[in-house]
Amino acid sequence: MSTGATVWLTGLPSAGKTTIARAATERLRAQGRRAEVLDGDEVREFLSAGLGFSRADRDTNVRRIGFVAELLASHGVVVLVPVIAPYAESREAVRKRHEAEGTAYLEVHVATPLDVCADRDVKGLYARQAAGELTGLTGVDDPYEVPARPDLRIETQGRTVEQSADAVHALLAERGLTA
Ligand code: ADP
């Protein structure tokens, strides 16, 4: 069986996490690898229905996703997780769980600056926050703890999606996780 891994893409809303996860997944599948995206919005609909955006709920959400990702990764799947995960402590808990199980875990910081994310505003969240229709937006009026030592940091501004996906693929290859 191929070696699985969890690749957690952390970053601000509209940083490019989902786009990169999908592009990297397609590429891995084209190579015959089993790859899966654990999409944050889908997870919130099914696995984490009822959870909100408080610190405690965000932490629970991240730990649940980490649990499922580890299970899949331990069976040879490369699991791409495009989920904000704003707190270092929650991310660390997920890493520890993987380490305890002997499952590969890679943290990728999609480090698009806030002003670029707010311009992209894929889901209209920044506009809603600015209009006073939403509070607790990560990076604006809710914390985002920048990863201190990610396995990879991707600057997406001025780069194509393809280049960003290449960087994730190169990281997996470097760690012997593409075969
Ligand atoms: P997130 O999942 O982080 O909230 P999305 O992936 O949904 O963000 O949206 C990011 C947006 O930025 C998309 O419209 C995507 O096409 C665009 N984008 C521009 N350049 C890049 C890049 N190099 N990598 C990823 N996304 C990019």
pTM over 0.85: yes
DSSP letters spanning 56-115: HHHHHHHHHHHHHHHHHHTTT-EEEEE-----HHHHHHHHHHHHHHT-EEEEEEE---HH
How do residues 33-66 score in pLDDT, each as one tens digit?
A: 999 999 988 888 888 989 999 999 999 999 999 9
H/E element, 163 = helix 161-174
Ligand 1: list residues with CB < 6 Å: 11, 13-20, 82, 120, 122, 156, 159-161, 164
Task: State the fold for domain 5-174.
Answer: Rossmann fold (3.40.50)
Atom of ligand 1 minimally distant from the CA of 21: 6
Residue 95, token pair as written in the block: 């890493």
How do residues 134-149 score in pLDDT, each as one tens digit?
A: 999 999 999 999 999 9
Q: Which residue CA neighbors atom 22 of ligand 1 most closely?
A: 161
